[in-house]
C-alpha cells in the first residue's frame, strides 16, 4: 500500500506537533460539558496550518461535504494566520480540493505529479495571495 511509504509514525508525530489544528464537531446532545469526554461532539472535519502558512491537511467527512464546514475551518486558519502576521497561505491541493481552494482565492503555482511507491497522482501547489 502506498500510504505505508509516506513516513514513519515518529515523523508523522513531529509534523502533527508542529502544526496548529482545528476540529469541526457536531454539537451532540450528549455533550453536557461536565466531563472531558463530553466536551466536544462528533468530529466531522479538521484543518491544520504550520507557522509558515502551509496548510498540510483539510478534511471533511463526506456526509458533511458542501455544507460550509471546510469554509468555516479555512476561515479559522485565515484568522489565526492574520493574528500571527502570516501573510501567505500555501497548500498542495488534490484534484478534488483544487476547486475549493480556487473559490477561496488560491491560485495554482504548479501542477505536480508526485509518485509514492508505484502510485502516481496529480496535485497542485496553490498559494494566496
Cell numbers found for residue 81 = 494566520
What residues contact 125, with CB distance under 8 A and at least 6 apart? 90, 91, 92, 108, 109, 110, 112
Residue 116: what pLDDT? 86
Residue 108: what pLDDT? 98
- Give pLDDT tens digits for 111-122: 999 998 899 999
- Give pLDDT tens digits for 54-82: 999 999 999 999 999 999 999 999 999 99
Residue 9: what pLDDT? 87
DSSP H helices in 1-129: 9-17, 69-83, 98-103
What residues contact 21, with CB distance under 8 A and at least 6 apart? 46, 47, 48
Distance CA 125, CA 99 (A): 13
Residue 3: what pLDDT? 56
Residue 1: what pLDDT? 47
Query: What's the pTM?
Result: 0.86
Residue 91: what pLDDT? 98
- Give pLDDT tens digits for 14-56: 888 999 999 999 987 555 555 555 567 899 999 999 999 999 9
Plot region of 27 (φ>0 → left; ψ -120 to 50 → alpha; else → beta): beta
Q: In b/e form, how buried is each residue of 90-111, taking b as 16+ CB within 10 angstroms?
A: bbebeeebbebbeeeebeeeee
Amino acid at each position: 500500500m502506498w500510504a505505508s511509504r509516506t513516513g514513519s509514525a515518529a515523523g508523522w508525530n513531529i509534523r502533527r506537533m508542529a502544526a496548529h489544528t482545528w476540529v469541526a464537531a457536531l454539537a451532540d446532545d450528549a455533550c453536557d460539558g461536565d466531563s472531558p469526554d463530553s466536551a466536544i461532539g462528533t468530529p466531522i472535519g479538521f484543518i491544520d496550518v504550520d507557522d509558515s502558512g502551509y496548510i498540510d491537511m483539510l478534511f471533511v467527512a463526506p456526509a458533511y461535504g458542501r455544507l460550509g464546514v471546510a469554509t468555516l475551518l479555512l476561515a479559522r486558519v485565515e484568522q489565526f494566520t492574520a493574528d500571527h502576521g502570516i501573510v501567505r497561505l500555501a497548500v498542495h491541493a488534490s484534484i478534488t480540493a483544487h476547486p475549493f481552494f480556487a473559490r477561496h482565492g488560491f491560485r495554482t503555482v504548479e501542477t505536480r505529479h508526485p509518485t509514492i511507491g508505484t502510485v502516481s497522482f496529480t496535485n497542485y501547489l496553490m498559494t494566496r495571495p
